[in-house]
């Protein structure tokens, strides 16, 4: 079964089976289904993830929206919210985990590992709408990823993407050489 194979890919990539990765798994498969698209080869699909937790790995494996390709945008807001946009027509779908949806009081007294495994298993088959608040949203799609040229840092001599460099005395400096203040602001 396709979904079983997809889950195995996700677990292989993520390293373990957990409730967190299942959140991303369900959000990603649900979005592909509702948007009627396949895994993105290029940038035809864009994802905005509001968490840097386990689910992010499932989104990358299943949707083809990846950090390296630039069609995955991470907003580190600590929210289990995943939005997916289709470039062809700008349709944008937002899935927000319902608060408490993954809790099952019947599992509360089990040892941690067992509770997590059973919670993840239960999430595999929960109706999508029970797990997430799913809605179509109006939002501008992020710009496609751009390719920036590299400049040479005047301090360390290493290359740095022009858009990440800052100027000091008219010379480009990389974030590492510019110091922690710049890194924090970036
Ligand atoms: Zn995990
Ligand atoms: Zn440098």
User: Considering the entire predicted model, what is its pTM?
Assistant: 0.86
How far is the CA of 81 from the CAs of 28, 50, 74, in angstroms?
11, 5, 11
Sign of CA dihedral 36, 41, 43, 47: positive
Residues in CB range of 55: below 8 A, 6 or more apart: 20, 21, 22, 23, 24, 25, 27, 49, 80, 82
Ligand nearest to the CA of 57: 1
**CA of 60 relative to ligand 2 center, distance in Å:** 30
**CA of 174 relative to ligand 2 center, distance in Å:** 4
* pLDDT (0 to 100) of residue 2: 63
Ligand nearest to the CA of 179: 2
- Residues surrounding ion ligand 1 at CB below 5 Å: 18, 20-21, 54
**CA of 56 relative to ligand 2 center, distance in Å:** 30
How far is the CA of 158 from the CAs of 24, 152, 155, 179, in angstroms?
36, 6, 8, 15
**CA of 17 relative to ligand 1 center, distance in Å:** 6
Per-residue pLDDT of the chain (186 residues; tens, 9 = 90+): 567 889 999 999 999 999 999 999 999 999 999 998 887 777 789 999 999 999 999 999 999 999 998 899 999 999 999 999 998 889 999 999 999 999 999 999 999 999 999 999 999 999 999 999 999 999 888 888 778 899 999 999 999 999 999 998 899 999 999 987 655 444
Ligand nearest to the CA of 178: 2
């Amino acid at each position: 079964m396709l979904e079983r194979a997809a889950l195995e890919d996700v677990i292989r990539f993520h390293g373990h089976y957990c409730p967190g990765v299942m959140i991303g798994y369900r959000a990603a498969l649900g979005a592909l289904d509702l948007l009627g698209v396949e895994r993105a080869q290029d940038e035809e699909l864009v994802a905005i993830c509001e968490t840097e937790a386990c689910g992010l790995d499932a989104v990358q494996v299943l949707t083809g929206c990846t950090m390296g390709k630039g069609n995955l945008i991470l907003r580190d807001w600590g929210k289990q919210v995943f939005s997916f946009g289709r470039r062809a027509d700008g349709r944008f779908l937002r899935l927000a985990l319902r608060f408490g949806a993954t809790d099952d009081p019947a599992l509360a007294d089990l040892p941690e590992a067992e509770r997590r495994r059973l919670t993840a298993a239960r999430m595999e088959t929960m109706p999508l709408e029970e797990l997430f608040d799913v809605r179509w949203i109006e939002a501008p799609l992020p710009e496609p990823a751009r390719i920036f040229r590299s400049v040479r840092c005047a301090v360390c001599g290493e290359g740095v993407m022009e858009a990440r460099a800052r100027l000091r005395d008219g010379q480009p400096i990389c974030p590492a050489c510019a110091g922690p203040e710049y890194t924090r602001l970036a």
